[in-house]
Structure 1
Amino acid sequence: MTIAIGDKLPTAKFKEKTADGPVEITTEQLFDGKKVVLFAVPGAFTPTCTLNHLPGYLENRDTILSKGVDDIAVLSVNDWHVMGAWATQTGGLGKIHFLADWDGAFTKALGLDADLSAGGLGVRSKRYSMLVENGVVKSLNVEESPGQATVSGAAAMLEQI
């Protein structure tokens, strides 16, 4: 079953690279009592993710936060080393959370996993964005194609906040 608007997020643990090294972040730490924009990508360093999806959120970070959002996070089924390198390379380290759902447990619990083995990626996350308030999904935008970043992009999210 795919998560829907009004559903509470499942409990999960992520890894994130920080200036002090890797840290574990739980869904409770990230979402409880907060308004958070979460977007997911099929893979760090992949073309659409790096050139189209992530830049919009980095460029609009201050505008998103000025609308009452407490935090922004990007999630991918990658390890924390890859997510940390991606954060550093894109200039996003310390600006938004780069969450490693290393085994895909959270992604599978959401029902938003996608088998991209035909493209050599294995099981990854579908491309989506959601607005989460106190752990509850308030808006959900899932792309039909992993190569598109329109309904889940920052511009679309800004209209929903």
Structure 2
Amino acid sequence: MAPLNPGDSFPEDVVFSYIPWSEDKGDITACGIPINYYASKEWKDKKVVLFALPGAFTPVCSARHVPGYIEALPKLREKGVDVVAVLAYNDAYVMSAWGKANQVTGDDILFLSDPEARFSKSIGWADEEGRTGRFALIIDHGKVTYAKREREKNVLEVSDAESILKAL
């Protein structure tokens, strides 16, 4: 599949893996059970910001990318965003722990796993190592309204929260 562009429909049958946050499993050492997250179905009638990155607990991702979205969350909600999700190649256990390490609770930001970078590869946006690339999408009721990939792995010019806020 070609990269997604504004005006495209979000692909059907997109399934990620994740561990829903729960208070009883809120400690970083507690493990939940991974389940499928049927993104196409869940996002059909919602305004969604999906940002993707190469890996959890990595320098740019942990120091700037995710914290920027955590900080911007109230402004994203003000602009009508129903779902904010971060996507990486890491498995659901790592993504869950990363969410807890960032003190994200509930469904404020979904920490989703792109197993084997299937989704990223399907849109041609996996990185050179075959992992999830760094990109961002805005999906409004099943239609892509923003789709940009970073020009380099450790650059934040089009997938950061500030860029998304400007695009909304």
Scaled by the length of structure 1, the TM-score of the pair is 0.90
Aligned to 1:97: 110
Q: Which runs of 5+ in 1 are unaligned?
A: 117-122
Q: Deviations over 1:102-139 (max 9, x none)?
A: 121111112111123xxxxxx11221111101222101
Q: How does 1:119-138 map to 2 (within 5 A)?
A: 123-138=130-145
Identity, % of aligned pairs?
A: 35
Moved over 3 A (4+): none
Aligned to 1:78: 90
Aligned residues of 2:114 and 2:132 also touching (Cα < 8 A): no
Aligned to 1:42: 54
Among candidates 59, 70, 83, match of residue 58 of structure 1: 70
Once the 2 structures are TM-superposed, how far is the Cα of residue 29 of structure 1 from its aligned partner? 3.4
Q: Deviations over 1:38-64 (max 9, x none)?
A: 100011111000101110101111110
Aligned to 1:14: 16
Q: Matches of 1:100 and 1:42 in 2, distance apart?
A: 11
Q: Matches of 1:93 and 1:82 in 2, distance apart?
A: 15
User: SS of 1:61's equivalent?
Assistant: helix
Residue 89 of structure 2 aligns with an amino acid whose one-letter code is V
Q: Which runs of 5+ in 2 are unaligned?
A: 26-31
Q: Matches of 1:53 and 1:93 in 2, distance apart?
A: 18
Establish whether residue 157 from structure 1 lines up as the match of residue 158 from structure 2: no
